[in-house]
Amino acid sequence: MILLAKIGVGVLGTAMVAGAALSSQGFIAVKVHEKRPDGTHLSLIVPAALVPASLHFVPKNDLKDAASELRPYLPIIDVAIPALEDCPDGVLVEVKDPQEHVFIQKVGGSVVIDVDDHGDIVHVSVPLRAAQSSIHQIAEANETM
C-alpha cells in the first residue's frame, strides 16, 4: 500500500513538473472560423514550449528558405521582442476597411492577432518569448549547411 502511494506521488509529481515545464512559456492559441456554411471551425491551444521541441523533428532542408530569409533580421528580432515584452499592453496596429479588420495587440507576454474578413475569422495568440526562441531555431536550422 505504501509502495503504491509512493509510486502515485512520484507519478503525480512528474506530471506536475512536466505540466509546469510545458506551460512555462505560455500557450499558443489559434482559432479559425470559416464563415461559409460548411466551413471549418478550428480551435487549438498548444503549450508554446512544444514548438521549439517540435522544430527539432522538422527536416532542416524544409526550413532552408525560411532560415535564410529570417537570418538578416535576427538582430532586430532579438532587440524588438524583449523591448515589446517590456511595453505595456495595448493596440499596436489596426487596419479596417469594409472587407477586412486586422487587429494586432500586445496582451500580457503575447502578441495577439485578430483578422476578420469576408471569408474567415482568425485569432492567433503567440507568447513573445516562445516566438523568439522558435525564430532563432528556424534561423539557425541551416546555418551549417
Partner 1 sequence: MFADGLPIARRIRPGVGRAIPRPGTQFEFLSKDVTMKIFKSLLLTAVVVAGTVVWAASPERYLHIKVNNPKTQELVRVNVPLSLAEKVIPAINHGDLKNGKFHVSNFNVQDIDIRALLEAVKSAPEGEFVSVQNPGEEVHVAKEHGQLVAHVNDKGGKQRVDVTIPWEVAQALISETTDNQLNLSAAVKALQSIGDMTLVTVAGEDESVRIWIDSNNSDK
* Positions in the binding site for partner 1 (CB under 8 A): 72, 75-76, 78-80, 83-84, 86-98
Nearest to partner 1 of 103, 123 (CB atom) = 103
CB of 68 to partner 1, least distance (A): 15
CB of 61 to partner 1, least distance (A): 27
Nearest to partner 1 of 38, 86 (CB atom) = 86
Angle at 33 between CA 128 and CA 46, to 5 degrees: 35
In 3D space, the residue among 131, 137, 130, 136 whose CA is nearest the CA of residue 24 turns out to be: 130
CB of 80 to partner 1, least distance (A): 5
Nearest to partner 1 of 18, 92 (CB atom) = 92
Report the relative pairing of strands 90-96 and 41-47 from DSSP bridges: unpaired
CB of 142 to partner 1, least distance (A): 21
Nearest to partner 1 of 30, 74 (CB atom) = 74
Q: Integer distance in angstroms from the first to the last C-alpha of the chain?
A: 56
Distance of CA 23 to CAs 39, 55, 130, Å? 31, 17, 11
